[in-house]
Amino acid sequence: MAATANPVPLVHLGLEPGPFHERLIAHNRQQAWMNWMGYASPSVLDTVEFEYFAIRNQSTLFDISPMCKYAITGPDAEAVVNRLVTRDMRKLKPGRVAYCIWCDEDGQVVDDGTIFRYSDTEFRLCCQEPQLSWLEDIAWGFDVEISDVTREVAGLALQGPTSCALLKDLGLAGIETLKPFGIAEFKIAGSEVSISRTGFTGDLGYELWMDPADALNVWDALVAAGRLRGLRVIGYEALEMARIEAGFLLPKVDFLSAQTVLRANRASTPYELGLDWLVALDKPHFNGRRALLDLSKKTPRRKLVAIEIERDKPAHNALVYHRKTREVGMVTSALWSPTCKRNIAYAWLDAPYGQSVTDNLWVEIYLQKEIRWQRRMARCQLVDKPFFVHPRRAATPPADH
C-alpha cells in the first residue's frame, strides 16, 4: 500500500508565540525572550529594576498563559481533587482558590499549584509541570472528566498597589469586594474575564483568565486604562524578585518534582519544604498519606529555610557552612531585596542544621570586582517567610494605591 497523502506539516519549531505575543513584541525593547513551557516569554522588556518597582509601586502586567491548566469536572471532581492534593479540598468553597501541593506514594512532592473551584463539580488546576497522566491515574474509577485546557485559557497577572483602582476604572463593579483567593466573573471591553485575587508577588493583585480569542482585546483595554495608573508590562526577572520577597517557592529552582528527579534522594517532602501547613493528615485517603503520616513523626533529613545574610551581595549559588568550615547546605534563590533592604535567600540545610543547630552559619559568596574574583564568608541567620509583608495585599476593599 503506497503512502499517497500530502506531507504532514511539522509542529512549531523553536519558541511558540502565546496569545499576547503580538503585544509583547511591541513592548519588548530588549528583545529578551525566555522559554516557558515552549512559549516565548519575556525575561525583561526594558529595565529589570523599573519593572520590579512597578510591582511594588504601581501596576504590572505579566503573561501567565504558559501555565499548565487542567479542568477537572464531574460528580466526583471534589473527591478526585481531594485525593490529589494534601490539603482538605472539602473546605474549599465554590468561588475560591487554594494553594496546594501534591505528593507521590512516597510522600515526595510532585508539584505545587493553585486549585480553582468554580462550582460543586468544577475545578481547575494551574501548575508549572504537565500533569495530565498523573491526574488521569488518580482519577481511575471516579466519575470525573479531566482535560488539558492550557491552550484554551489565556492568563494575565495584573499585580501592584494600583491594580484594583485600574480595574475599577474599567467599570468592574464590585471588584473591590473580592477577597484574597476569591474568584468572580466580569466583562472587560465586552469580553468575558474570570478574575481571581491571586498572584505570585505577595502584593495586591489579580489574575485574569479569558478565551485566547479575547486576549488582545482585554490587553488593549487594560493598557489603555493603565496609563493613569502607572501600568507597566514586565518580564520574568522582575517577577522573580517579587516572588522571592513574597516567600513563594519555584519548582525546578527551589525544589524538584519527584516526577522528574533522576536521583531518588533529590525529591523533597512537604516537611522538608516547610509546607507542613498544607498537609491535612486528618482527611481521608489521599496520595502519599501513609508515607506522610510516617514522615510527619520524623525529623526531616534536610530543610528549605529562609535566611538573611549580612552585607549586600546576593548569595547566588552559594554553599552554606557551619563555623565557616563544615559544608551543611546550599542556596537556591537569592536576592538583595530593594523593598525590604535586606539580603535574602532560600537555602537547603542538612539536618540538624537549620533545625536544632541554627547558629554560626555562613554563606560563601563569590564576588567579581572588575574581573577579579573574591571569596567572602558572610554570616547568615534563619528568618521567617515571607520577607515582604504589606497589609494592602489582603485589605478588602483595597485602597486605590
Q: Does 141 bind another protein (CB under 8 A)?
A: no
Q: Give the nearest distance from C-beta 352 to another protein in angstroms.
A: 23
Q: Give the nearest distance from C-beta 33 to another protein in angstroms.
A: 13
Residue with cell 485575587: 197
C-alpha 8, offset from chain centre? 37
> How far is residue 32's CA from residue 41's CA, in Å, rounded to a whole number?
9
DSSP of 221-250:
HHHHHHTTTTEEE--HHHHHHHHHHTT---
Residues 91-110 interacting with another protein (rule: CB under 8 A): 106
Q: Does 190 bind another protein (CB under 8 A)?
A: no
Q: Does 132 bind another protein (CB under 8 A)?
A: yes
Q: Applying CB under 8 A, which of residues 3, 285, 373, 375 lies at the interface with another protein?
A: 3
> How far is residue 249's CA from residue 346's CA, in Å, rounded to a whole number?
9
DSSP of 102-146:
EE-TTS-EEEEEEEEE-SSSEEEEEESS--HHHHHHHTTTSS-EE
At residue 312, φ and ψ (nearest 5 deg) are: -115, 5
Candidate segments 132-140, 157-165, 170-178, 215-223, binder of another protein by CB under 8 A:
132-140
Of the pair 173, 264, the CB lying nearest another protein is at: 264
Q: Applying CB under 8 A, which of residues 22, 49, 120, 136 lies at the interface with another protein?
A: 136
Beta strand 59-63 pairing with 231-233: parallel
Q: Give the nearest distance from C-beta 150 to another protein in angstroms.
A: 10
Q: Does 145 bind another protein (CB under 8 A)?
A: no
C-alpha 6, offset from chain centre? 43
Q: Give the nearest distance from C-beta 127 to another protein in angstroms.
A: 13
Residues 34-63 interacting with another protein (rule: CB under 8 A): 35, 37-38
Candidate segments 131-139, 277-285, 317-325, 388-396, binder of another protein by CB under 8 A:
131-139
Grouping H, G, I as helix, E, B as strand and the rest as coil, residue 85 is strand
Q: Applying CB under 8 A, which of residues 88, 122, 148, 276 lies at the interface with another protein?
A: 148
Q: Give the nearest distance from C-beta 136 to another protein in angstroms.
A: 7
> How far is residue 253's CA from residue 92's CA, in Å, rounded to a whole number?
29
Residue ranges in contact with another protein by CB under 8 A: 1-16, 35, 37-38, 106, 130-134, 136, 148, 259-264
